[in-house]
Amino acid sequence: MIRRFFVAVLLVTALVFSSHAQRFVVKTNLPYWGIMSPNAGLEFRMGKKFTFDVNGGGNLFRPIDGKQFKHWFVQPELRYWFCESFNGHFLGIHGSGGQYNVGGWDIPIGDLKHLKDYRYQGSFYGGGLTYGHQWYLGSRWNLELSIGAGYLRMYYDKFRCANCGSKLDSGKKDYLGVTKAALSLIYVIK
């Protein structure tokens, strides 16, 4: 399932890039760097009011103090701009996919509280709707704020501790809620 998802993302990206390479941007989601998750994105103009955005990132670093936070993701999105591409408010429809290996974190919120005593490893896919706004900072720089909500299907294996242990359980979880949050610094390539 994940392979098909990535093939579709690559095909759409290639089509968009080959037909509309005259205007695109590169970006990074700043808060992800704060949680040690390098990331980057490309967004291509598809017309006066439409763009195609694809972001990806991850954390493949070794565990820190018994805490595991390995993951990677890709998130393609088709956007409709109310004013013009790369300016003002937009709505989008996004997909999400990736893999994770997370555990040893004390986060006392909802299902995240289980990460303190267990490690979860698996994959996810889904999608949702996005609302955002992009501000012009200069001739080549923009700032974007966006939030998205939708659905994720997560498949997991559950282990006793963050870095060790045999598999205790396997399953799937359906999630409905926030699927995207970004404060992105953007460089415009003309």
Does the structure show a pLDDT above 80 at 63? Answer: no
CA within 13 Å, CB half, 126: 21
Tens of pLDDT along 140-154?
999 999 999 999 999
Non-local CB neighbours of 48 within 8 Å, separated by 6+ positions: 84, 85
Tens of pLDDT along 128-186?
999 999 999 998 999 999 999 999 999 999 998 766 778 999 999 999 999 999 999 99
5 belongs to a structural domain: no
136 belongs to a structural domain: yes
pLDDT at 4: 63
* Average pLDDT score over residue span 87-114: 88
pLDDT at 161: 78
- For residue 2, name the pLDDT band (cuts at 50, 70, 90): low
Distance between CA 102 and CA 175 in Å, rounded?
Answer: 17
38 dihedral zone (left: phi>0; alpha: psi -120 to 50; beta): beta
Does the structure show a pLDDT above 60 at 19? Answer: no
pLDDT at 96: 98
pLDDT at 29: 97
* Domain around 27: 23-189
For the chain, the distance separating the N- and C-terminal CA atoms, rounded to the nearest angstrom, is 36
13 belongs to a structural domain: no
pLDDT at 188: 93
pLDDT at 108: 77
Average pLDDT of the chain to the nearest whole number = 87
Q: Which of 18-32, 50-64, 110-124, 154-168 has the lowest mean pLDDT?
A: 18-32
29 belongs to a structural domain: yes
170 belongs to a structural domain: yes
56 belongs to a structural domain: yes
Q: Which CATH number covers residue 148?
A: 2.40.160
12 belongs to a structural domain: no
- For residue 8, name the pLDDT band (cuts at 50, 70, 90): low
- For residue 14, name the pLDDT band (cuts at 50, 70, 90): low
pTM for the complete prediction? 0.82
Q: Is 159 exposed, middle or buried (0-12, 13-18, 19+ CB in 10 A)?
A: buried
Does residue 27 contact residue 187 with C-beta atoms inside 8 Å?
A: yes
Domains: count for the chain? 1
Comparison of pLDDT for 99 and 69, the residue scoring more: 99
* Average pLDDT score over residue span 83-100: 96
